[in-house]
Amino acid sequence: MSDHLIVRPPGPRDEEAFLELRSAITEDGTVFAKDYRPGMLWPEYLLVQDNARAGVGLAPTTVPYTFLVADLGGVLVGSSDIRHHLTEKLTRWGGHIGYVVAPRHSRRGHGTEILRQTLHLASDLGIRPALLTCRADNAGSRGVIHACGGVVSAETADGICSYWI
């Protein structure tokens, strides 16, 4: 098993690893892979993701997005997503990029590497600079964003920090 982390779109062989990652991340109530519904056929989910990247069949309030998984030698340790443009709501919370690391894989530098690679992919989509948001009390996420060059541009009264990278 390789120890090189690769951020990439989910593929045909990822269903089992995806479901394991989803289970690990949603245990604490975190939303993960919002367009996945339990029992959904894997090819259907992959089609939803292809359409989301292309902006096809999205709800009026949803922007095109790219969902990515973080693969560490065949084990999915986290994910990220790139929102292709901002709405007023995403400008306040969510930004261009979101990322998550499964709890059992946290504090190993994976978050920083996931964000680093996702920023590169966002740049390829013309997103420069990228807006990220996180809660002021989320020291782990703040550290990841700072490690990737994030500069705080604002903090709301309710504790949401905005960063531009």
Domain around 77: 5-127
Residue 15 domain-assigned (yes or no): yes
Residue 158 domain-assigned (yes or no): no
Question: Helix (H, G, I), strand (E, B), or coil: what is residue 51?
Answer: helix
Structure tokens belonging to residue 99: 């990322």
Residue 36 domain-assigned (yes or no): yes
Q: What would the pLDDT profile of 110-160 be if each residue is shown by its tens digit?
A: 999 999 999 999 999 999 999 999 999 999 999 999 999 999 999 999 999
Number of domains composing the chain = 1
DSSP string, 59-83: -TTPPPEEEEEEEETTEEEEEEEEE
Q: What would the pLDDT profile of 7-52 be if each residue is shown by its tens digit?
A: 999 999 999 999 999 998 888 778 788 789 989 999 999 999 999 9
Residue 91: give its domain's CATH number: 3.40.630.30
Residue 55 domain-assigned (yes or no): yes
Residue 150 domain-assigned (yes or no): no
Residue 48 domain-assigned (yes or no): yes
